[in-house]
């Protein structure tokens, strides 16, 4: 029997920074990235060579690989933090990061959504020149946040897991890291 | 194996106009209306004569008919756009347009929610004198939009389908039509 | 075959006042409190003596007791109003009040969420000195409301039940009571 925390966040919310800051003190937790796991599966099957090819796979292949990653995850023992997306925004809509068919395969204890005030997210995306990101307005970011929180609540009802919303506002990284540490600590006690 | 896009929208969002504008170029897609399908079933069973009698049927009959329509839909081959409600607002609350028991019978590829800025929706409803609509405030419309987006996200998680939110703002019909065309094109390629 | 209305609300929304005001005229409806039912089960099993010990039980025991209460509820005949939480806010996140595993055991007809304008909720919480409540901002309360409405919509899709959002604004208690009476009346007719 394991313990699983799923950590999600919008682009620009600072998920990776908060996650790295929080897990450093917990040696017994393993951090797994859902996308990495899918890439490993696809590479082993020799259907892709580069990470970037993943998104070009037919939807059917992507779903099958996602299913296999979920199955693999469900068999992992111990304390796991799964790093993944709440939803993936594409040109034709939001794809659920944890569709029911996959979520039902997992035993989830905590769902964490890292977010930030819309204006902070917008500013971070504008300053980040390393990634090609679409130009969006503050209203778009606000819509994104509320859509993702709706996804989060659905995951919470379906899995029975607690849903934690952690705000990583500009200049308040320590607060966000502290809140994620609390969740990890609590999950480890259960 | 078919492809299914479900198109939904609030009263006053302009769903029908956007849908008609978008599908005209796609001859291989069939547009079905969930309400029409239910009416056809009830008429064949001789339990109603007029469309208006549908809403007066006992809730149990309505649910049975909805189930039959879902079953019928699940058997349709080819490329289908299902025109239906995200939720139906009644005096005693929102009824889910796609309750889980019916949604699970369908293989959905894309969920599209046509919306508009709250002030545009309010203005359109006020100018539309052909339908008897309740007087509502801008806050009511905003609440309606966010409630319907929550329904949309739940449908997305349960079905695994992408959720597309298309804004049909006053004077921007072409943008909305163009975005729906993109979804139809993408769905047709899959 | 029974009828079930589930009434939920945020702390400070005035759920108890609205519920008491509405049910007084309906002698054939039984009001049950989910938390009370769970406490009764735990007391009979001699694992707690006081209500306050409930929240200190291991999560696994809490879930088992919640499951038993759901099973018991599913066997109750007649007209039932279930008084419970939409979500329970803890230091480490929102716990779903009706996780899918329990909700699927119930046949729910109406879901009612009692809410109020964020500023009214905040004011009531500040004036309520009998309960120790965390200090929160108006943004926190707005977030709480929207998170709980997301939970509500998910419950609605999963159960197929109508979702009613009743606003109990300061000085408008009679309106809120009247709206809940309408739901109870309608549910009783079905």
Q: How confident is the model at residue C131 (pLDDT cuts 50, 70, 90)?
A: low
Q: Is residue C134 part of a domain?
A: yes
Q: Is residue C39 part of a domain?
A: no
Query: What pLDDT, in 10s, does the model give residues A127-171?
Result: 887 766 666 899 999 999 999 999 999 999 999 999 999 999 999
Chain B residues with beta carbon closer than 8 angstroms to that of A150:
149-150, 152-154
Q: Under the phi-then-psi rule, with left for phi > 0, alpha for psi from -120 to 50, and beta for the rest, what region is A78?
A: left
Give the mean pLDDT of C169-185.
97
Residue B87 above 90 pLDDT?
A: yes
Q: Is residue B60 part of a domain?
A: no
Q: How far is C26 from chain A (nearest CA, A)?
A: 31
Residue A67 is part of a domain; what is its CATH number? 3.40.50.300
pLDDT of residue A130: 72
What letter would DSSP give residue B57?
S
Chain A residues with beta carbon closer than 8 angstroms to that of B157:
96, 98-100, 103, 151, 154-155, 158
Reading the block at residue C103, the tokens are 């909700």
Residue C110 above 80 pLDDT?
A: yes
Residue B132 above 70 pLDDT?
A: no
Q: Is residue C164 part of a domain?
A: yes
Q: Which of B37, B47, B23 is nearest to B84 (CA)?
A: B37
Q: What is the mean pLDDT of chain C?
A: 92
Rounded Cα gap, residues C128 and B125, in angstroms: 41
What residue has token string 């909305």? B176
Inter-chain contacts counted by CB atoms under 8 A, chains A and C: 71
Nearest CB neighbour to B96, from listed C110, C150, C156 = C156
Query: What pLDDT, in 10s, does the model give residues A81-134?
Result: 999 999 998 888 999 999 999 999 999 999 999 999 999 999 998 888 776 666
List all chains that touch chain A, counting a touch as 3 or more CB pairs closer than 8 Å: B, C
Q: Is residue B166 part of a domain?
A: yes
Chain A residues with beta carbon closer than 8 angstroms to that of B110:
92-93
Nearest CB neighbour to C149, from listed B90, B98, B150 = B150
Nearest CB neighbour to B162, from listed A58, A94, A146 = A94
What residue of A is the nearest CA neighbor of B150?
A: A150
Say yes or no for a CB contact (<8 Å) between C183 and B151: no
ipTM over 0.95: no
Q: How confident is the model at residue C121 (pLDDT cuts 50, 70, 90)?
A: very high
Query: What pLDDT, in 10s, does the model give residues A30-70?
Result: 999 999 999 999 999 999 999 888 878 887 888 899 889 99
Give the mean pLDDT of C82-100.
94
Q: What is the domain count for chain A?
A: 1
Q: Is residue B121 part of a domain?
A: yes
Say yes or no for a CB contact (<8 Å) between C93 and A163: yes
Residue B1 neighbours by CB distance under 10 Å: 5
The whole domain housing A142 covers 3-189
Say yes or no for a CB contact (<8 Å) between A157 and C151: yes
Query: What pLDDT, in 10s, does the model give residues A3-29?
Result: 999 999 999 999 999 999 999 989 999
Q: How confident is the model at residue C54 (pLDDT cuts 50, 70, 90)?
A: confident
């Amino acid at each position: 029997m394991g313990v699983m925390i799923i950590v999600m966040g919008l682009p620009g919310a600072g998920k990776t920074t908060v996650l790295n800051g929080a897990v450093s003190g917990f040696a017994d937790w393993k951090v797994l990235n859902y996308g990495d796991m899918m890439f490993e599966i696809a590479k082993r099957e020799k259907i892709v060579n580069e990470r970037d090819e993943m998104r070009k796979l037919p939807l059917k292949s992507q779903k099958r690989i996602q299913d296999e990653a979920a199955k693999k995850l469900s068999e992992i023992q111990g304390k796991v933090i799964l790093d993944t997306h709440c939803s993936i925004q594409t040109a034709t809509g939001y794809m659920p990061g944890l569709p029911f068919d996959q979520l039902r395969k997992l035993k989830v204890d905590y769902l964490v959504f890292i977010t930030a005030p819309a204006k902070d997210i917008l500013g971070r995306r504008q300053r980040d020149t390393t990634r090609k990101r679409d130009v969006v307005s503050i209203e778009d970011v606000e819509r994104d946040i509320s859509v993702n929180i709706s996804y989060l609540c659905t995951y919470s009802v379906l899995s029975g897991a607690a849903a934690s919303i952690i705000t990583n506002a500009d200049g308040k990284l320590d607060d966000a890291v502290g809140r994620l540490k609390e969740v990890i600590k609590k999950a480890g006690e259960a």
